Chains A and B, each alone.
Chain A
Amino acid sequence: MKFIALIVIVLAILAVAQLTRIYELTSKLRNRNETDVDYRDNKMNANLLLLFGIGMFVSYIWMIARYGAGGNGVAASVEGVEYDWLFGVNLILISAIFFVTNGLLFYFAWKYHAKPGAKAYYYTHNTRWELMWTAAPAAVLSVIIVMGLVQWSDRTGAAGENAVVIELYSKQFDWAVRYSGQDNTLGKFDYKLINTTNPLGLATTETIAARVEELKIEIEDLEARINDPNTVYSVTVLAEMKESLATKERLYVRLLQLQENHDPAWDASSLDDIVQPANITLVLKKNQEYDMYFRAQDVIHSAYFPHFRAQINTVPGMVTRLKFTPSITTKEMRAKMKDNNFNYILLCNKICGASHSNMKLIVEVLDENEYDVWWAEQVATKTFGLQAASAPESAE
Chain B
Amino acid sequence: MAASTHEHAHHEESFVSKYIFSQDHKMISKQFLLTAIVMGLIAMILSTLFRIQLGWPEQSSDILHAFLGDRWAPNGILDRNMYLGLVTMHGTIMVFFLLTGGLSGTFSNLLIPLQIGARDMASGFLNMLSYWMFFISSVIMVISLFVETGPAMAGWTVYPPLSALPQAVPGSGLGMTLWLVSMAIFIASSLLGSLNYIVTILNLRTKGMTMLRLPLTIWAFFVTAVLGVLSFPVLLSAALLLIMDRTMGTSFYLSDIIVGGEMLDNTGGSPLLYQHLFWFLGHPEVYIVLLPALGLTSEVISTNARKPIFGYKAMITSILGIGFLSFIVWAHHMYVTGMSPFLGSLFVFTTLLIAIPSAVKVFNYLTTLWRSTAIYTPQMLFSIALVSTFITGGVTGIILADSALDIAVHDTYFVVAHFHVVMGLSAVFGMFAGVYHWFPKMYGRMMNLRIGYVHFWLTLISGYGVFFPMHFVGIAGAPRRYYDYSVYEGFDMNQFNIIMELNVIISIFAIIGLLAQGLFLYNFFYSIYRGPKAVQNPWRGNTLEWTTPVEHVHGNWPGALPVVHRWPYDYSKPGADEDFILQTVPLAEGETEDH
The chain A residues found within 8 Å of chain B, CB to CB, are 1-3, 6, 9-10, 13-14, 16-17, 20-21, 23-24, 34-35, 37, 41-42, 45-46, 48-49, 52-53, 56, 59-60, 63, 67-69, 71-73, 80, 83, 86-87, 90-91, 93-95, 97-98, 101-102, 104-106, 108-109, 112-115, 118-126, 129-130, 133-134, 136-138, 141, 144-145, 148-149, 151-153, 155-157, 171-172, 191-192, 194, 247, 250-251, 254, 297-300, 302, 304, 306, 309-318, 320, 337, 339, 341-345, 347-358, 360, 362
Contact = CB atoms under 8 A, between A and B. Distances in A.
10 contacts: A20-B454, A73-B495, A83-B404, A90-B399, A125-B313, A152-B344, A349-B479, A351-B155, A356-B483, A362-B491
A350 B411 contact: yes
Contacts of B491: 341-345, 362
A240 B404 CA distance: 48
Contacts of A141: 352-353, 355-356, 398
Nearest to B366: A104
Given A24-B448, A130-B360, A153-B341, A98 B405 contact: no
Given A72-B495, A312-B336, 8 more contacts: A42-B375, A67-B476, A67-B502, A98-B391, A194-B258, A311-B336, A343-B491, A357-B483
A349 B412 contact: yes
Contacts of B404: 83, 86, 148-149, 151-152, 155
B461 interface: yes
B162 A357 contact: no
Interface in B326-373: 336-338, 341, 344-345, 348-349, 352-353, 355-356, 359-360, 362-367, 369-373
Contacts of B306: 114, 119-120
Interface stretch (B135-143, B381-389, B583-591): B381-389
Contacts of A300: 159, 161-162, 271, 337
Given A86-B405, A98-B391, A360-B487, A138 B356 contact: yes
Given A118-B373, A133-B359, A156-B341, A73 B502 contact: no
B348 A145 contact: yes
B367 to A, nearest CB: 7
A121 B477 contact: no
A41 B448 CA distance: 14
Main secondary structure of the interface of A (DSSP, over half): helix
Nearest to A95: B395
Contacts of B377: 37
Interface in B260-315: 263-265, 267-272, 305-308, 310-314
Given A299-B165, A316-B256, A124 B485 contact: no
Contacts of A53: 388
Sort A-B residue pairs by CB-CB distance and give the 4 closest, nearest first.
A317-B255, A156-B341, A72-B477, A320-B338
A106 B472 CA distance: 24
Nearest to A252: B265
Contact of A2 (B62, B344, B398, B410): B62
Interface string B434-456: 00000000000010111101100
Given A45-B453, A90-B399, A298-B161, A317 B362 contact: no
Contacts of B265: 247, 250-251, 254
A169 B159 CA distance: 20
Given A34-B449, A130-B311, A130-B314, A120 B371 contact: yes
Contacts of A156: 341, 344
B451 A101 contact: no
- The contact size tier of chain B is 35 or more
A362 B396 CA distance: 31
Given A35-B446, A52-B460, A300-B159, A144 B479 contact: no
A316 B296 CA distance: 44
Contacts of B482: 356-357
Contacts of B267: 254, 317
Interface stretch (B14-22, B118-126, B213-221, B516-524): B516-524
B469 to A, nearest CB: 7
Interface string B77-117: 00011001000000000000000000000000000000000
Interface string B463-495: 010001100100111011111111100111111
Contacts of A3: 62-63, 66
A329 B255 CA distance: 38
A25 B407 CA distance: 58
Contacts of A9: 515
Contacts of B454: 16, 20
A87 B182 CA distance: 41
B392 interface: yes
Contacts of B460: 52
A262 to B, nearest CB: 17
Contacts of B410: 302, 311, 349
B573 interface: yes
B154 interface: yes
A6 B65 CA distance: 14
Interface in B563-577: 569, 571-574
B402 A67 contact: no
Nearest to B575: A122
A94 to B, nearest CB: 4
B407 A316 contact: no
Contacts of B338: 312-315, 318, 320
A335 B358 CA distance: 46
Given A34-B449, A35-B446, A137-B355, A144 B402 contact: yes
B444 to A, nearest CB: 13
Given A113-B374, A341-B491, A149 B574 contact: no
Given A87-B399, A299-B162, A300-B271, A108 B366 contact: yes
